[in-house]
């Protein structure tokens, strides 16, 4: 075949449907709260979790009210005092290793559940989310008996009960980022998944039962913002770990100020993905696609602002459009799907609203031509070109498959534009020259910087932000510091930047 136009080529090379079977799931029609090692009914009004791809109900979910939050925190406190704090680090580590192995054993089931409930493509939940969940537990299992050697001060001690609240974009992975270091450091946990994605956390609760984890060490309560609020404000928690929006993070910071609770906040981002004219363009285009269209752009560290050197702008944008025309949008459970469903109607409306603003403010909108399924929540990959630094879509987190394209002429201009944001979570640099990458990275105010790659995660590598992206680090020994008494904000972890190159990618 000589025709290389991706649109016409796809007519000849159409993929047959390849859906992953849901027969591996053993879902219950309804799920209770997981408190003190058992599933119990919540006292709030239950709610339904739905598939964002079909809008069909998956299961009925319990809603924790403040009395349930009290019960969960009491269970965590009792488990901390009676069992978990009395175990040796080596014994805690054995439980974590067991959990990691069970996650691997039930990996396919977890991946299917995650794609069903969240809408992300199965190839991502299967090849990225779930393997990283296992990697996180394996990694922190290894630390549990080595806390004295973590360089976090003498005799590091657990804080007690950790209250953890997580978002919907990487439901099980965010749970692992929070639960694994907390347990390794000797804390017990009450965690609340997001209201639109509770399913994988509830299957994880079954894994905890399988692992024979002592009752009350991990409690999983489902509910919406008011449940989260009651949890983080509970007087008997010692540590608050929150991942979510900057607005909620700010409210939590205010409410826990002066209480003595230790806090880490992992919030939003508006990352710059900087492409220099000496970059390998084909790789850079793949990196741009991975940077913003991975997980439908529901990624806090997404490369949502493409800063491209002016002299290669047309070439990069043309190649990017050609590449986007080959992406397949549709059933998240289909193994060939690249772009899944938007997680909720509410999020879809926000993406639409911000995109309309982008157009009104004068940016050039281009949308990949793809068929949108009749039911469910969908948004086709979209590029805004000629975006100015003051434009709303260059400043606010869209949290969807929407890329803003800006240009620069010199490295200094690239750095100034990249830093011109209230956020500071991540950034990407594409260049052939190592010295240029290091010099530019030095000038960027971002917690994580990828070089000639993007959106790579490794449990040994700390992750977190500057400015409105939050404070504290998750991952690595820095992630342990957030759950230990002896390590404070003055630890080497607090405001550091991680620079990753292709040679140091996640291989979990």
Q: Which is nearer to ligand NAD, 269 or 340 (CB)?
A: 269
Q: Distance between CA atoms of 244 and 398, rounded to whole angstroms?
A: 14
Q: Which is nearer to ligand NAD, 131 or 244 (CB)?
A: 244
Nearest Cα to 180, choosing from 82, 92, 109?
A: 92
Q: Which is nearer to ligand NAD, 93 or 479 (CB)?
A: 479
**Residue 76 Cα distances to 24, 79, 216, 397, angstroms:** 32, 5, 5, 35
- DSSP at 236: T
Give min distance, CB of 29 to ligand NAD, in A: 23
Q: Catalytic residue at 206?
A: no
- DSSP at 491: S
Q: Which is nearer to ligand NAD, 51 or 309 (CB)?
A: 51
Helix ranges (DSSP H) in 279-344? 281-293, 313-324
Burial 344-353 (b: 16+ CB within 10 A, else e): beebbebbee
Give min distance, CB of 394 to ligand NAD, in A: 16
Q: Catalytic residue at 195?
A: no
Q: Which is nearer to ligand NAD, 81 or 233 (CB)?
A: 233
Q: Distance between CA atoms of 501 and 33, rounded to whole angstroms?
A: 42
Give min distance, CB of 124 to ligand NAD, in A: 14
Contact call for residues 166 and 194 (beta carbons, < 8 A)? yes
Residue showing tokens 């000589």: 2
Q: Which is nearer to ligand NAD, 385 or 474 (CB)?
A: 474
- Mention every residue, 6+ apart, whose C-beta is less than 8 A from residue 68: 33, 35, 42, 43, 44, 62, 221, 223, 227
Give min distance, CB of 472 to ligand NAD, in A: 10
Angle at 461 between CA 465 and CA 438, to 5 degrees: 75
Q: Which is nearer to ligand NAD, 308 or 348 (CB)?
A: 348
Of the listed 124, 266, 396, 397, which one is catalytic?
Answer: 266
Give min distance, CB of 240 to ligand NAD, in A: 9
Q: Distance between CA atoms of 260 and 252, rounded to whole angstroms?
A: 13
State the DSSP H helix or E strand holding residue 148, giving kind and residue range, or none if neither: none
Give min distance, CB of 351 to ligand NAD, in A: 12
Q: Which is nearer to ligand NAD, 156 or 228 (CB)?
A: 228
Q: Distance between CA atoms of 224 and 493, rounded to whole angstroms?
A: 31
383 C-beta neighbours (distance < 10 Å), count: 23
- Note the residues at the interface with ligand NAD (CB under 6 A): 165-169, 192, 194-195, 224-225, 228-229, 232, 243-245, 248, 251-252, 266-269, 300, 397, 399, 425, 465, 469-470
Q: Which is nearer to ligand NAD, 64 or 317 (CB)?
A: 64
Contact call for residues 75 and 236 (beta carbons, < 8 A)? no
Of the listed 114, 300, 301, 396, which one is catalytic?
Answer: 300
Backbone φ, ψ for residue 364 (5° rounding): -90, 120
Give min distance, CB of 93 to ligand NAD, in A: 25
Give min distance, CB of 30 to ligand NAD, in A: 20
SS3 4: coil
Backbone φ, ψ for residue 498 (5° rounding): -105, 125
Q: Distance between CA atoms of 78 and 245, rounded to whole angstroms?
A: 31
SS3 107: helix
Give min distance, CB of 275 to ligand NAD, in A: 23
Q: What is the DSSP string of 470-483?
A: EES-BSHHHHHHTT
SS3 string of 153-198? CCCCCECCEEEEECCCCCHHHHHHHHHHHHHHCCCEEEEECCCCCC
Catalogue the active-site residues. Answer: 266, 300
């Amino acid at each position: 075949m000589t025709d290389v136009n991706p649109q016409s080529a796809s007519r000849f090379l159409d993929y047959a449907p390849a859906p992953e079977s849901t027969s591996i799931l053993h879902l219950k029609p309804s799920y209770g709260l997981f408190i003190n090692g058992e599933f119990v009914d919540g006292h709030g009004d239950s709610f339904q979790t739905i598939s964002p791809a079909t809008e069909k109900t998956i299961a009925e979910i319990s809603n924790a009210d403040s009395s349930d939050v009290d019960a969960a925190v009491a269970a965590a406190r009792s488990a901390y005092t009676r069992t978990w704090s009395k175990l040796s680090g080596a014994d805690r580590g054995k439980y974590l290793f067991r959990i990691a192995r069970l996650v691997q054993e039930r990996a396919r089931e977890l991946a299917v559940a995650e794609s069903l409930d969240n809408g992300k493509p199965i190839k991502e939940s299967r090849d990225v989310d779930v393997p990283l969940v296992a990697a996180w537990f394996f990694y922190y299992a290894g630390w549990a008996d080595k806390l004295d050697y973590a360089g976090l001060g003498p005799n590091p001690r657990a804080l007690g009960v950790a209250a953890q609240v997580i978002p919907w974009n990487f439901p099980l992975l965010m749970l692992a980022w929070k639960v694994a270091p907390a347990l390794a450091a000797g804390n017990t946990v009450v965690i609340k998944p997001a209201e639109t994605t509770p399913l994988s956390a509830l299957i994880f609760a079954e894994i905890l039962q399988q692992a024979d984890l002592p009752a009350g060490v991990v409690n999983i309560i489902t509910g919406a913002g008011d449940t989260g609020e009651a949890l983080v404000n509970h007087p008997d928690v010692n540590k608050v770990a929150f991942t979510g929006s900057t607005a909620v993070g700010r409210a939590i910071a205010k409410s826990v100020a002066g209480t003595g609770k230790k806090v880490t906040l992992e919030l939003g981002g508006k990352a710059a993905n900087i492409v220099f004219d000496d970059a390998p363009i084909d790789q850079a285009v793949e990196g741009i696609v991975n940077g913003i269209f991975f997980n439908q752009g529901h990624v806090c560290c997404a490369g949502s602002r493409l800063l491209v050197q002016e002299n290669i702008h047309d070439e990069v944008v043309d190649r990017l459009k050609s590449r986007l025309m080959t992406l397949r949008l549709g059933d998240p459970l289909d193994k060939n799907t690249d772009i899944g469903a938007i997680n909720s109607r509410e999020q879809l409306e926000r993406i639409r609203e911000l995109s309309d603003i982008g157009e009104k403010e004068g940016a050039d909108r281009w949308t990949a031509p793809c068929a949108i399924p009749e039911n469910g929540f969908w948004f086709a990959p979209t590029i805004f070109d000629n975006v100015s630094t003051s434009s709303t879509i260059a400043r606010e987190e869209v949290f969807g498959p929407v890329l803003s394209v800006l240009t620069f002429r010199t490295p200094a201009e690239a750095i100034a534009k990249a830093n011109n944001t209230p956020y500071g979570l991540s950034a990407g640099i594409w260049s052939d020259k190592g010295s240029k990458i290091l010099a530019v990275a030095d000038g960027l105010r971002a917690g994580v910087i990828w070089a000639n790659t993007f959106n790579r995660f490794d449990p040994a590598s700390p992750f977190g932000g500057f400015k409105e992206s939050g404070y504290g680090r998750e991952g690595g020994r820095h992630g342990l510091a957030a759950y230990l008494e002896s390590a404070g904000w003055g630890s080497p972890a607090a405001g550091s930047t991680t620079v990753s190159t292709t040679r140091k990618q996640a291989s979990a």
